[in-house]
Chains A and B, each alone.
Chain A
Amino acid sequence: MGEMQELSTFWFVTFGAVKVVAVFTVVMAVVAYMTLAERRVSAFIQDRLGPNRVGPFGLLQPIADGIKNIIKEETMPGTAAKFYFVLGPALAIMPAVVTFAVIPFAAPLPTPVGTVDMIVADVPIGILYILALSSLAVYGIVLSGWASNNKYAFLGGLRASAQMISYEVALGLSVIAVLLLAGNVTLTEMVWKQQQLGLWFVFPLSLAFIFFLISALAETNRLPFDMPEAESELITGYHTEYSAMKFSMFFIAEYAHVVTASALMATLFFGGWDIPFWPGDDMFRHEGAWIRGFDESGAPIPTSPSVLITLLTLAAFSVKTGFFLLLYIWIRWTLPRFRYDQVMHLGWKVLLPAALAYIMLIAGTMLVLDQLGVAYGMLYGLVLTAVSGVTTLAFLFFVDRDRVISGAHRKRTTRARAPRAVADPAGRTPPS
């Protein structure tokens, strides 16, 4: 029990290749079915049916869309910069499909030849790899906007570069709070630290989660932050001139970013593959053996990987990621689009200073707790949860100038008091 058998180089490479293919295939399948889910959920929200003709419940619709996009005519605007026009979609899709590699998706799997980590590449820089590669995603969008030689596409590209730089700052700062508490940048260790704390980081770092959620929406260019494509202003923004598979590649890239962002939110703030209220699945590599935690005297408690735990944790990870995918769709069909200056205002004047202040607060609280000798565990987490909870409520209270969260009754009373003269359903003022 607890002893660890290391994989030989041959098996390491073999399993590595299998994991690369498997993860890529699954991510692409999720991307394909997310387009269907988006259309079905939006239809549900808008009281329509959505695509339900191709296969049962419309399940073959993504395949039909794929075939259509491949056999459609590829157009090339006469005045486009041809090389960059083709390079754009390729640059857009590349970072999107490789970022999933450092996210652990289940507990380690035991095999007769050794234990296999359920992560494609457990690189020592973990989350920095994701931040670095997703910061390259903007090139594809900006270049295609520029190369199209179309003013709407160009405006979309410019908006994309400004927006993605602005929100990268807020995204990075919200991750720093997680790094403070986890003490390392690898996502494997972040999952382990959440298991040891006994609390998912969303509780002790609730405000960081809200910042991360907002910045992730902006980074993936999803509503309410889809300024770069803003249909009502820019036709479809940076991909106005694209057709067929090149157009489709922008969508695959966008949805792949959404899948990665959802998996990242699940991992950073919701325990990753951890199953709540059950310490049996906790597992970490400690001095050459698998351990579940430390007992009172600080001695490691050994554990051993099992296939059942791997499958259960994989299910837990999928449920969490699936929830955030649904949340993305839900937000898109609920909130209207921001105005461009509002997006910039929120990023630089609200999120940036608030995130900086929050980091100071969390670091200060942790310093006090460490000085008092509080061990890393439930009490530690609960104190941080209390501090963060108060801060989050204060933040939401001051940001929410219309006080929407005070409840619907307030809006109802305001509406009842409104003068009867403007009660026209279309909102026009009556002729005087």
Chain B
Amino acid sequence: MTDILFILFAVVAVGGAVGVVIGRSPVASLLFMVATLASVAGIYVLFEAHFLAAIQVLVYAGAIMVLFLFVIMLLNLGHDYRADLRYGSWSLLSLVVVGLTAGVLMQGFSGDVGADLLEDGAAAAAAIDAAVIEKGAVGVIADPLFTDYVVAFELMGLLLLVAIVAAVVLAKPRGSGEG
């Protein structure tokens, strides 16, 4: 059952990712992307990572992609983006990148590595189950995030804030006189 669901989600995730690239319109690409994100969330659920799945849907599919859709509809209506695409050397470069990534993945998952992962995985899963019962699905993530990694976490927050301020500054029309 888990295998069937995994294959289903995996096919939709990869198919959606391909769809994003070859989609006819920006809206179609966006919907393919939503399908991919939702399938990845489904795979997270199969791994019992319920919190990650919920956040994946809530943040990416539910908020960021809706903003994308908003922007596409507001700004890009009827704009033929195909004229902006460049073929030739770029497609060659992308093929090389795809080939290299596939090669690295193949090497990573071939041989005895898989068996090791499975063995460690079973022990890790038992530990995670115990932690979820003790702290709850959110506590398992929140506890290390706000104790061991709190400095890194806060710095990430600061980085995002800087990015937001920068975006506002860039978006402001020049010489509007209001600083």
Question: A residues near B, CB below 8 A?
Answer: 84, 123-125, 128-129, 131-133, 135-136, 138-139, 142-143, 146, 154, 157-158, 161-162, 164-165, 168, 179, 183-186, 189
Contacts and interface: CB of A to CB of B under 8 A. Distances in A.
B104 interface: no
Given A165-B67, A184-B136, A185-B138, A136 B73 contact: no
Interface residues of B, number: 24
Contact of A168 (B27, B63, B73, B132): B63
B66 A124 contact: no
Given A133-B57, A136-B61, 19 more contacts: A123-B50, A124-B50, A125-B51, A128-B58, A132-B57, A132-B58, A132-B61, A135-B61, A136-B62, A143-B31, A158-B70, A161-B66, A161-B70, A164-B66, A165-B67, A168-B62, A168-B63, A179-B138, A183-B136
Contacts of B137: 124-125, 185
B60 to A, nearest CB: 10
B150 to A, nearest CB: 16
Contacts, number: 78
A154 B69 CA distance: 12
Nearest to A126: B137
B69 A161 contact: yes
Contacts of A136: 57, 61-62
Contact of A157 (B53, B73, B138): B73
Contacts of A135: 57-58, 61-63, 66
A142 B72 CA distance: 12
A154 B137 CA distance: 40
A289 to B, nearest CB: 15
B55 interface: yes
Interface string B11-37: 000000000000000010001001000
Contacts of B67: 161, 165
Contacts of A154: 73
A188 to B, nearest CB: 12
